[in-house]
Chains A and B, each alone.
Chain A
Amino acid sequence: MSSTTATPERSGFLVSEYIVCLNGIVWREALRFLHQRERFVSALVRPLVWLFIFAAGFRQVLGISIIPPYETYILYEVYIAPGLMAMIQLFNGMQSSLSMVYDREMGNMRTLLVSPLPRGYLLFCKLLAGTAVSLLQVYAFLLIAWFWDITPPTIGYLTVLPALVLSGLMLGALGMLISASIKQLENFAGVMNFVIFPMFFASSALYPLWRVQEGSPMLYYVCQCNPFTHAVELIRFALYGKMNWVSLAVVGGCTVVFMIGAILAYDPSRGLVRRGPGGGEA
């Protein structure tokens, strides 16, 4: 078996150990993603269906006036592209949440949670890993969308990256927080009904908020309070090399709140994760 010598006594951790840990978690997440090719395909098909079918159908119905960040009239496909990018991240965040619930049920989560590194850091690494995977999907979507005449300025592909990282972290942290409160895999269907659909439809992903306000002032306020709306707007502006400061503040703030909530939820002394008599955290 392993060496006969024990690990020498020392307290604290080296920076290199933190980096090694982060690399390991991202590497594992990437491996799992590559092993699940159907996940990659379905992650791409979903927004493409919206783009190719839904947007094509609604192009003539929904007129888009000139609103920031756009400086001219745009096609409906162009308008919904940032919303679909955020949708990829929303689904990815919830997929990560599902994966954490599955890992808990299967016992894999214990491997992570008994690591000596601080638990908050481990969860943050997991979050970064999920975000990295979502970035791959979003850029694959942008590549396909380019052939569909959705061609933001070239610099936009670069300026959108920080926005995608931040929105990915926010949605991933939300998924992590949700995963702590879900007791069983079977309960995950509720997340679709009570989180994903309301967040997506009550946002500016599919229609501009001024249109929503015309139809229902009440819904307009709901959309304004929806963090996903701000994730979409942050991405939309960043894709055209501009900044939406309000959205940045909301997305940044929500990321911090959701992350702290997730860390507390996975804290062994006060967390939400079920502690049954069978031992373990699942």
Chain B
Amino acid sequence: MAPKLPPQHNLQHSSTAVADGQAHHAHPAQPKGILRWLLTTNHKEIGSLYLIFSLTMFFIGGIFALVVRAELFQPGLQLVNPEFFNQMTTMHGLIMVFAAVMPAFTGLANWMIPLQIGAPDMALPRLNNFSFWLLPVAFTLLLSTLLMPGGGPNFGWTFYAPLSTTYAPPSTTFFILALHIAGISSILGAINIIATILNMRAPGMRLMDMPLFVWTWLITAFLLIAVMPVLAGVITMMLMDINFGTSFFDAAGGGDPVLFQHLFWFFGHPEVYIMILPAFGIVSAIIPTFARKPLFGYASMVYATAAIALLSFLVWAHHMFVVGLPLVAELFFMYTTMLIAVPTGVKVFNWVTTLFRGSISFESPMLFALAFVVLFTIGGFSGLMLAIAPADFQYHDTYFVVAHFHYVLVPGAIFAIMAGVYYWLPKWTGHYPNERLAQWHFWFSIIGVNLTFFPMHFAGLAGMPRRIPDYALQFADFNMLSSIGAFFFGTSQLIFVLVIVLCVRGGKKAPAKAWEGAEDLEWTVPSPAPLHTFETPPVFHRSSH
């Protein structure tokens, strides 16, 4: 699938790009210092801002998780009171979903989509600046609720009514506002990405020539446009229930709390694919590069992604098997959920087949991508177990669910983001990341992740409920292992920061085509990519796939 450009053309083109960039930016009006970052409309700078923001939030959300794990290290209540524990579980989820994973993918999209389709920038650069700067506002507001009287949100990241309405702390109105702002940010980002992909591709690049990262992001952006307004609607209804006396979710006034769950998961299930589809795209770029083979089944990858996105609208009630759904609905949602395993299986098959008889090398991006394939598949299998409605009656709201979604989100989404960062760092900084440190980071992470989340399967199957600060004694060993793993994993992420800092400051120089097997358009511009690239659109040459 990857476009193959004649090297001489690339070099020629790159040099003109550099010259253009310099000529363009000789004028003195370019703001300096903090204003440069506040006012930038450059997709690369905004991409970096998104990624730095996301990394910061990853650590803040991580600290919240460590508070939770520290409390659960031993049975009994030791460190924090249950009210604060609830705020920590809630904030950990909210921050990781909305402030770490989603902005990281948007950052990667900002950096890489214009480079991969041969566009000079995003379609709407000023809107791009606005979407980013909404995020620090939203999450400063959200984090500040922890300091308010009554504390921050304590109802779980799923904020089920009436916990989040009738019984919520007074700060909930700020939580709603923060989520509105974050939602507007992702919606604007999605519009920008769709407008860029549909209108700004290099001449000759058809949709079916686009790299898979671009494809998966296009589909993700459509999902965002379809479901973020539903989230906005739900939290607006909450706002009205809390402040204006309506009864959307209040049975006393004729409302229905179950309606909240339907609306929330109608947003929430596509949301989990929003957090994984771009990861599929990253892995689909890395595996062919380091297997030195074109991706197996490009077209089936595109159709599988689209199928997953469509099916994601038909499965929401599998989160609600125990609310008292009629048997017909239980069966319907059980079968549609299991159906998702088919396109996902196609993807895993394609990745494995790409590896088959490839000339594989194991640099850090590839290690993370391979770990993604294996561990995400484990998360997929536990998802299939949870999809079985009668079995879910046992698993529901236990640590088995926690194990499942952490397997698809941590060694799933987050490992893919890290793989992408290691893969594209040479393009961003002009230096290779320190491979030895990156390998340490990988091995510590993979041990930490499995030590943290694997025992949760057993604790959950044995009946340990989630979101509770204390537990019965028989779960003590599993929890101690999980807590040790969590601190091990959390600490080892400092290596990640170290690698990035070192890589920005120096290191082995990277050529334009930093990886031997890398074929997409971004590898035709010099490393580091100059501020302005593809000001004259590149000529796209189609390879046969």
Do A and B come from the same complex?
no
Interface residues of A (CB under 8 A from B): none
